Amino acid sequence: MAGTPQRVEDRSDRRKPVATDPAAAPAPAEGRPPGLVLCAISGRGPSDSTDTEAGDLDETSVPDSVAGLWTPAFPSPALVDAAAAMLPAIREEPGTLAEGPRWELTVGPGVFAVACHDWARRERTAERARAAHVKDIDAAVAAHIATGEWPDPPTPRTAITSWSRKSRANMVRRLCELDYTPLYASGRLPAMVTLTYPGDWLTVVPTGADLKRHLKALRKRYARAWGEEWACVWKLEFQRRGAPHVHMLCTPPHGHARTTGETFAVWLSAAWADVVDHPDPEQRRRHARAGTALDYAEGLRATDPRRVAAYFTKHGLMAAKEYQHDVPPEWSEPGTGPGRFWGAWNLDRATRTVTVTPEVGIKAGRIARRWARAQRRTKTVSRPRIDQSTGRTRYRQTRTRAELVTSGNRGWISVHNGAKFAVKVGQYVGDGPRLNSQTLHS
């Protein structure tokens, strides 16, 4: 992006900040404990003292307006509604539920989906599940009356202990379905906030549930300090040393906090250190100095729903960063797992679903599949190779084309502008001209 300084990292000698760049991060002072790298556009300002505490940090000259720096292209819910209204939907009487499969098209800010559901069948299945649950409760009550003891509770759901392919796909779709209007409606610059833990991290966050409690406490402090709810998308990752850290895409507030009178960068460092509250004074002092990062350069790249999803999944697509999804051994025991790897605060879904005829649904699925094929996306797969001399099987990682919307012309794709894509599809699902990938991109 023109006019935006490049990101500067001072951990390596490959790139150094230019001396005349006022937004460049300062070089680490000798004897300072290692912390997070300051980016070129950061909420933290340089300090001349090597013993600077979190309370002495100040903000650099961050523009108050996004003009010329950030051009968001997030479709609004009204635009999604208008695009869904242009699809050839079937009009049904209110309160009726037709039997049999129903083809549906779903439009979101960054997603287009084709599905075929039998809602009447699903409703009957849900009714049977409720009836079975009532019988289980009646049986448990009868056993308690007869023996005076309650039966053993059912086996809980399997705990989340790894970053699976399904979880990654669910995250991408949900991020493409969210309404990002609360982020850019205020006109503030977006930023990527990073929260880390001290070197002795097991003392303060021995389980994943403790991390979730820390995030909940920080969220409450934000509401008290800035008079608004925190709207963001967050993602949990792990460092090589095993310590968890959280990335958050948000729009930091301007001005000063109501509770402390500090700017956001200063308040964030102090508030996060207070929430974590390490019992060792030296660990807490270092955590207050280097436990947070505020990166506007990364935030400016989030210009549409698909780019937001791409940022939070880029580590999964790069083998060099895949270790950040490996759960440390300290969190691998039952009851200590990380729980959810991602989530969104105060951002609602903005999807609209319309019912169409089978002919329209099949055509729309073919269009989505051809568009996805034209993107030439690839994925990594493991292919077996048999050694003819020994008969042993080994697996080799190879790249192959990713196929989407291949299950009977049903599935979903992530796009930069779901409303625009739906309008283009609506023009050609009837008797219009043949659709190609160039027409969709225009």
**How confident is the model at residue 62, as a pLDDT?**
57
CB–CB of 101/114 below 8 Å?
A: no
Joined together, the tokens standing for residue 126 give 């849900």
By C-alpha distance, which of 371, 355, 353, 361 is closest to 430? Answer: 361
Which pairing describes strands 342-345 and 244-250: parallel, antiparallel, or unpaired? unpaired
Predicted confidence pLDDT, tens digits, the chain (442 residues)? 444 444 433 433 433 433 333 333 334 444 444 444 334 344 555 443 334 343 344 444 555 566 667 788 899 999 999 999 999 988 777 666 667 888 999 999 999 999 998 888 888 899 999 999 999 999 999 988 998 888 887 766 676 777 888 888 999 999 999 999 988 888 888 999 999 999 999 999 999 999 999 999 999 999 999 999 999 999 999 998 889 999 999 999 999 999 999 999 999 999 999 999 999 999 999 999 999 999 998 888 889 999 999 888 865 445 556 778 888 888 888 788 888 899 999 999 999 999 999 999 999 999 999 999 998 888 878 888 888 888 888 888 888 888 888 888 899 999 999 999 999 999 888 654 444 445 555 5
In a domain? residue 404? no
Is 214 contained in some domain? yes
Hey, how many other C-beta atoms are within 10 angstroms of the C-beta on 242?
Answer: 15
- Coil, strand or helix: which one is 355? strand
Q: How many Cβ atoms are within 10 Å of 58's Cβ, its own excluded?
A: 15
Query: Is 424 in contact with 440 (CB distance < 8 Å)?
Result: yes
Whether 38 maps to a domain, the answer reads no
pLDDT at site 95: 67
Contacts for 111 with CB less than 8 Å, ≥ 6 apart: 173, 176, 177, 305, 351, 412, 413, 414, 415, 418
Q: Which domain holds residue 249?
A: 180-345
User: Does residue 424 form part of some domain?
Assistant: no
Angle at 260 between CA 259 and CA 262, to 5 degrees: 125
Q: Which CA distances in Å does 247 have to 85, 156, 200, 236?
A: 36, 29, 20, 7
Give a yes or no: residue 327 inside a domain: yes
Q: Does 105 reside within a domain?
A: no
- Per-residue confidence (pLDDT) for residue 19, from 0 to 100: 37
36 within a domain of the structure (yes/no):
no
Q: What is the pTM of this model?
A: 0.76
* Contact yes or no for 9/77 (Cβ under 8 A): no
Query: Looking at residue 316, what is its pLDDT?
Result: 44
Domain contains 387: no
- Per DSSP, the three-state class of 123 is helix
Domain count across the chain? 1
